[in-house]
Amino acid sequence: MIYFIFCIHNHQPAGNFEHVIERAYQRSYLPCLRIISKYPWFKVSIHTSGFLLDWLCMNHPEYIELLSSMKERGQVEIMGGGYYEPILSVIPPGDGYDQIKTFSARLKKVFGVDVKGAWLAERVWEPHLPYLLSKAGIRYVVVDDYHFIKAGLKREELGGYYVTEDMAGAIRVFPGSERLRYLIPFEPRERFIEHLRWLEQNLEKGNAVVYADDGEKFGIWPGTYRWVYQEGWLEGFIKGIEKERHWLRPVTFCEYMEREPPIGRIYLPTTSYMEMGEWSLPSSASFEYAGVVEGLEREGRDEIRRFVQGGIWRNFFAKYPEANWMHKRMLMVSRYVSEAMDDLKEYRLYASASRYLYMAQCNDAYWHGVFGGLYLPHLRAEIYRNLLRAENIVESMRSDRKRPLFKRVDMDGDLSDEVLIGTERMNLFFKPSEGGSLVEMDLKPLEINLLNTLARWQEGYHLKLKETESQPATEKAVSIHNIVRTAKVGELCFDTHRRVSLMEHFIRNDESFDAFYTSRYTELGDFFNGTYHTELTDSSLILSRKGTVDGLQVRLTKDIHPTGASTFVVSYRIENLSERDMDCRMGVEFNIILPGCNGRDCVLRAIPGGGDLPVDSHGEVEDVKGIVLVDRTVPVSFTVESSAPFLLWRFPVETVSFSESDLERIYQGSCFLFLFTVSLERGGVMERSLTVAIDREGG
């Protein structure tokens, strides 16, 4: 007898577009559940993430009613986890515990169940998790068999569950089959039966096999709606199992645990599923790792491949500074909420702040692979929106909130202090260690970060792209991991630095716009990525650096001081400390993304007298005194005015990345370079100032 555990994980991230969720419901969640419900003997374990569950309760109660009826007749086991699908190992333990307990309480209210199992977001496992999970009332989790292989076991030893623990906090851990992830639902049903027949003969320990993967594979992945429903794969799959019930029995996790004891004890290493190990590596290593794995697979060298492992999920914080900054901002807000617990005397306020914080811990926007939403601006915007909502609740209790705040803190854990300038209406975060740059600029009342940008980072898959015309979309159902993407995406441009603001570049007078746009220009100075000395006064932040420009000794000072609740001035002083004359251009770089991204209601106006231009337009404009960016839908405006005319270079920052179906070019913000001519004799000084305002359009 072989027991078969069929587990579906349905998830949508907080902040996803309504039409995207609705399409997933109509093409995957609902038709899949309806077909399964026709066969009460076919047991299934279902995890629905908290944000999606709330959406379903509000928008499609008929789905909840159907799922409840299936649970009542014993066909469905409801699984829990972190409410908003966090990576539990990278959020504060108290937040993780609360997310699990709150979600379990919600599932108890909706379905009347006492949750026993938890879905781990992206199956990210770290050895300390059993203590947290067991403390939160979780009896079991499911990961990939890959986790067990990395612990030294063979697939033939993975016919059930193992016990693991941390600090004597013990849980059961099931291995989900990687082979079944690639078989279901992409291969003919007969292949599934053949594989389980093989397992029946070859399992050395246990008598179960687990399929655990995304519900979106049943209708949303390329070609799957037609294959799974219109061509009848799913119904045929279930009927095929029905014919084999004399030796193949579908059960839920809890049913199996009641019938069978654990196989043994295991301690799993820090890992996720196999593909994540490739995605989390730096680009060149990712490319090389993929080549090694593919080569071993071609040669059938499984005895070597089972010991090959890529990076770990936390690597994304090293690979993408934008993800690291969001994560550390989340930790900062978590501390704020925790420390304010006693001040937020009304439980309603504390519960609201906590809820927004937990929504900001949703994993999708913090990483990138074939899945992962870091490259999607609207998901990053939702992270900042919820962080600012939580922060605004906490700050509403401060009696001195109208007074400007100047604060040093190593916020991102790099052993160098950042500086926060906070007013009643805005946050400005500066990194003196990275060019004295402005890395976050929040308008608190509208809960937006106008520096929610992403650089054009090189990915491992860029190294093997073929510049050919896109192939016609196939109707064949195929795993996302096996799709061959060959698309004409134009020239690929990559950045050497994060796309933030108030970075100073020194370039030749004859440097071209195209060279700067494609990152092929020559940087004469060491200021844009150098470390600045920091001085804080009662009213300003003074950043200064003594560096070089084309071999000349130069001191650059920028004095940042708020002039209102949502305005500030940056005063520049450039001193030529050398014995030779200085003749070049200084460019002040801004990278801005409006809430509406590059939609038709987002426009650029040059000062003076400029008409509306698309915010993602590119090119040069001479004799400019300032710019205004407007998003009419919010509405919000961003204005910079200069004390002297400048040459404006502007272009959209666009990334080329993999999605679930093909390559995508995605707008990540607009770059604006304010170019001033610097012509200084030895000992000469030049001063310029920029006035910046962020506010609702029209004040």
What is the per-residue pLDDT for 661? 61
Q: Residue 477 — pLDDT band, cuts 50, 70, 90?
A: low
Q: What DSSP string runs through 27-91?
A: IIIHHHHHHHHT-TTS-EEEEE-HHHHHHHHHH-HHHHHHHHHHHHTTSEEEEEE-TT---GGGS
Q: Which of 120-129, 220-229, 382-391, 487-496 has the lowest mean pLDDT?
A: 487-496
pLDDT one-digit tens code per residue, 45-98: 999 999 999 999 999 999 999 999 999 999 999 999 999 999 999 999 999 999
Sequence-distant (≥ 6) Cβ neighbours of residue 18 within 8 angstroms: none
Using alpha carbons only, give the angle 155, 160, 162 rounded to the nearest 5 degrees. Answer: 95
What is the per-residue pLDDT for 698? 61
What is the per-residue pLDDT for 469? 41
pLDDT one-digit tens code per residue, 136-182: 999 999 999 999 999 999 999 999 999 999 999 999 999 999 999 99
Residue 470 scores a pLDDT above 50: no
pLDDT one-digit tens code per residue, 222-279: 999 999 999 999 999 999 999 999 999 999 999 999 999 999 999 999 999 989 999 9
Q: Which residue has the higher pLDDT, 350 or 33?
A: 33
pLDDT one-digit tens code per residue, 189-212: 999 999 999 999 999 999 999 999
Cα atoms found within 13 Å of the Cα of residue 53, Cβ hemisphere only: 25
pLDDT one-digit tens code per residue, 319-363: 999 999 999 999 999 999 998 877 666 667 888 999 999 999 999
Residue 231 a catalytic site member: no
What is the per-residue pLDDT for 609? 77
Helix, strand, or coil here: 96? helix
Q: Which of 291-300, 353-362, 480-489, 525-534 has the lowest mean pLDDT?
A: 480-489
Q: At the topology level of CATH, where does 2-269 sit?
A: 7-stranded beta/alpha barrel (3.20.110)
What is the per-residue pLDDT for 397? 79
What is the per-residue pLDDT for 480? 53
| Mean pLDDT in residue range 390-405 | 84
Residue 695 scores a pLDDT above 60: yes
What is the per-residue pLDDT for 207? 96
| Residue 75 in tokens | 């066909």
> Look-up: residue for tokens 């612990």?
151
Residue 472 scores a pLDDT above 60: no
| Mean pLDDT in residue range 576-591 | 97
Q: Which long-range contacts (CB under 8 A, 24 or more apart) does 232-239 make?
A: 233/185, 233/189, 233/477, 234/32, 234/35, 234/36, 234/185, 235/35, 235/38, 236/189, 237/184, 237/185, 237/189, 237/192, 238/35, 238/36, 238/39, 238/42
What is the per-residue pLDDT for 484? 47
Q: Residue 437, Cβ neighbours under 10 Å: how many?
A: 25
Bridge partner residues of 78 (DSSP): 46
What is the per-residue pLDDT for 467? 42
pLDDT one-digit tens code per residue, 440-453: 999 999 999 999 99
User: Residues 77, 85, 98, 122: which is the catalytic one?
Assistant: 122
Q: Is 611 exposed, middle or buried (0-12, 13-18, 19+ CB in 10 A)?
A: exposed
Give, to the nearest 10 degrees, the angle between helix 50-59 and helix 61-72.
Answer: 110
pLDDT one-digit tens code per residue, 67-81: 999 999 999 999 999
User: Residues 54, 214, 417, 601: which is the catalytic one?
Assistant: 214
| Mean pLDDT in residue range 429-440 | 98
Q: What is the mean pLDDT of the chain?
A: 93
Helix, strand, or coil here: 303? helix
Domain boundaries, the chain: 2-269, 503-696
Q: Residue 468 — pLDDT band, cuts 50, 70, 90?
A: very low
Residue 214 a catalytic site member: yes
What is the per-residue pLDDT for 398? 74
Q: Residue 697 — pLDDT band, cuts 50, 70, 90?
A: confident
Q: Residue 464 — pLDDT band, cuts 50, 70, 90?
A: confident
What is the per-residue pLDDT for 476? 62
Q: What is the CA radius of gyration of the chain?
A: 28
Q: Which of 459-468, 534-543, 574-583 has the lowest mean pLDDT?
A: 459-468
| Mean pLDDT in residue range 542-570 | 97
Give, to the nearest 10 degrees, the angle between helix 321-339 and helix 377-395.
Answer: 20
Residue 456 scores a pLDDT above 90: yes
Q: Which of 111-115, 572-576, 609-613 has the lowest mean pLDDT?
A: 609-613
CATH number belonging to domain 503-696: 2.70.98.10
pTM: 0.95
Proportion of the chain above pLDDT 70, given as a percent? 95
Residue 130 scores a pLDDT above 50: yes
